[in-house]
Amino acid sequence: MQIVKTQVLIIGGGVTGAGLARDLALRGVNCVIAEKHDINAGASGANHGLLHSGARYVSSDMHSAEECRDEGRILKKMAPDCIEDTGGLFVAVAGDDERYIAEFPHLCTQSQIPVKELDIKEAREMEPALSSKIIAAFQVQDASIGPFKLSMENIHQARSLGCGLLRHSQVVGFQIEKKRISATKLKNLLTHEHFLVEADQVVNASGAWAKEIAALAGCQIDLLYSKGSLLVTHSRLTKRVINRLRPSSNADILVPGGTVSILGTTSIRIENLDAIFPTVKEIDAIVGEGAAMIPELEMTRYIRAYAGVRPLVGTATEEGGRSISRSFSLIDHETEGLNNFATITGGKLTTYRLMAEKTADLVCARLGVTRPCMTRTEPLPTAPATRWTQPGSAPKLWIEHNDPQDLLLCECEMVPKSVVNSLAQSIHDQNGKPDLIALGLRSRIGKGTCQGTFCAQRIAAYLYDIEELAGREGLENIRAFVSERWRGERPLLWDTSLIQSELKEALYCGLFGVELND
């Protein structure tokens, strides 16, 4: 069996694992990330992309509010090219709790979170999409952040400093000797081969899967799963992040990101992680509620929905688990008899850097490494291959190049051949195989109005032409890609989206018959 040796094994390729890898690498610690699927496959890739000002938590969780406030400031300085500093509004509509509204600015001030009350007219001039029924508006310093770009850039720098990345590698067990994990057993999900990682320290940064991973090491974590579903609109509706000024509830936020807006979210307690997809009921609830703030949400076209699972540490009494702290938990597992294992979970995108810092502090203390954390002051370098996830970046490059041979393979999001080539290269650099799903994860491919109707086959054909696909892989790629897109389309198939999906089915089933085993 193949054995990989490293100082620190990080389980989970979400933003926490990515941030931890970079933090450790900057302190001169060698590490390897093992990820079951691909970068940001869990909640790191299924959230709003919101950089919290902290105002959301001032009434329920002041500690989280202050963490968000500080981390937001750091990230705006250290990772500006991952962030669009949109600013944010909190708005209340007629019928919302007046006491909550009245307390809000005072609570922000107490937490030293900048807030400015706006008059209604001013707010509606700033954001014309706002309902005429708003009764209060406050300006805060929310921003939008690209989670995928953020993770990729963290990993990119970590790798440039010697960190390893194992994709499609699932932890299947631990070998424990003398209060230590002596080796971690993994399975490559593509080749089905098993291999071992021998590390001095093992960090469980697997987000919602932290409980399952810890259990493999004989450790117990009280973790609740809260599913959140979100919706992507066809076009961007507001300049700023718009929050509903009321206690956390369904559809209380609309976050702009490039050319789209993201509306969410629900909070539904689930018992297991097998079926994480948005439902029709959730989508209808989100649209109905969101329309109270922004009436256009009732009529606008939605492109897709997605769902992620928030891991919440603790035991809950209330249905959605909204009242549990959104702060993170770092568990050292020493009371359970292991002294080279730690779990970092909970928390949120905004605080990922702090989570990484605290975890790296623990790991370094155990390793006897004394170099301090650098990520508070060391800017995150831009990684060239990460830009294709940002709406608008591929079209810009294509127009600049103006090369007639550089055909647009994904017309909705204007992704040309040259970008597919560049993505394929970056996937090879990560020891991966450029299939449609991996390309889609790293770009806007399939994320536009046609949801893969035209680009799935066009890109499959191109991948054959550049010899990235062989045999019957294309058919499997297409099946996997349209199936993956479907999970996000299914709950919002009415009006134009239903027409689009009928065309897609006419093509892939009616003509190509990809649903049949032939």
Partner 1 sequence: MTDILNIDCELLVIGAGMTGMAASLFAGNRNIETVQVGITSEIIFASGLLDLMGVHPMEQETIWKDPWEGIQALCRDIPEHPYAKIPPEIIYEAFEELTRFLNASGLAYVRHEKRNALVLTPVGTVKPSYFIPRTMWNGVQALQAKEPCLIVDIEGLKGFSARQIVASLRSRWPHLSHATISFPSSANLGEVYLEPLARSLVIPQTREALADALRPHLKAVRFLGMPAVFGIQDSHKILSDIENRVGVPVFEIPTMPPSIPGLRIKEVFESNLPAKGVQRFFQKRVMDVKTEAKGFVVQIGDTSPETLIRTRGIVLASGRFLGKGLSADRKQIRESILNLPVHQPLKRSEWHCYEFLDPAGHPVNRAGLVTDDWFRPFDSSGKIAHKRLFAAGSILAHQDWMRQKCGSGLAVATAYAAVNAFRENN
The site for partner 1 (CB under 8 A) is made up of 277, 279-281, 284, 287, 403-409, 454, 457-458, 460-462, 464-465, 467, 469-472, 474-475, 478-479, 482-483, 485-486, 490, 493-495, 498-499, 502-503, 505-507, 509-518
Q: Nearest to residue 347, comparing CAs of 36, 14, 94, 96?
A: 14
Shortest reach from residue 411's CB to partner 1, in Å = 9
Pick 172 or 461: Cβ nearer partner 1:
461
Q: Dihedral, CA atoms, 317, 52, 149, 251, nearest 10 degrees?
A: 60
Pick 120 or 291: Cβ nearer partner 1:
291
Separation CA 375–CA 159 (nearest Å):
16
Q: Nearest to residue 134, comparing CAs of 126, 142, 145?
A: 126
Q: Nearest to residue 338, comparing CAs of 219, 179, 218, 213?
A: 179
Q: Nearest to residue 72, comparing CAs of 59, 88, 90?
A: 88
Pick 85 or 505: Cβ nearer partner 1:
505
Pick 122 or 284: Cβ nearer partner 1:
284
Q: Nearest to residue 93, comparing CAs of 245, 286, 314, 321?
A: 245
Shortest reach from residue 448's CB to partner 1, in Å = 15
Shortest reach from residue 490's CB to partner 1, in Å = 5
Shortest reach from residue 405's CB to partner 1, in Å = 5
Shortest reach from residue 366's CB to partner 1, in Å = 45
Separation CA 282–CA 288 (nearest Å):
10
Shortest reach from residue 268's CB to partner 1, in Å = 15
Shortest reach from residue 56's CB to partner 1, in Å = 28
3-state secondary structure 284-328: HHHHHHHHHHCHHHHCCCEEEEEEEEEEEECCCCCCCCCCCCCCE
Shortest reach from residue 506's CB to partner 1, in Å = 5
Helices (H), 27-168: 62-78, 98-110, 120-126, 147-160
Pick 378 or 502: Cβ nearer partner 1:
502
Residue entry with tokens 């009529």: 299
Pick 82 or 463: Cβ nearer partner 1:
463
Q: Is 458 helix (H, G, I), strand (E, B) or coil?
A: helix
H helices then E strands: how many in the chain? 14, 22
Pick 52 or 304: Cβ nearer partner 1:
304
End-to-end CA distance of the chain: give it in Å, rounded.
Answer: 37
Shortest reach from residue 234's CB to partner 1, in Å = 16
Shortest reach from residue 171's CB to partner 1, in Å = 28
Shortest reach from residue 423's CB to partner 1, in Å = 17
Pick 399 or 506: Cβ nearer partner 1:
506
Pick 372 or 510: Cβ nearer partner 1:
510
Question: What angle separates helix 455-465 from helix 473-489, to the nearest 10 degrees?
Answer: 150
Q: Report phi then psi at 426, rounded to 5.
A: -70, -30
Rg (CA), the chain: 23
Pick 68 or 294: Cβ nearer partner 1:
294
Pick 68 or 456: Cβ nearer partner 1:
456
Pick 109 or 483: Cβ nearer partner 1:
483
**Residue 60: Cβ within 10 Å count:** 16
319 CB-contact burial (10 Å; exposed 0-12 / middle 13-18 / buried 19+): exposed
Shortest reach from residue 105's CB to partner 1, in Å = 36
The two beta strands, 134-140 and 116-118, are antiparallel
Please, are residues 43 and 14 in contact by the beta-carbon 8 Å criterion?
A: yes
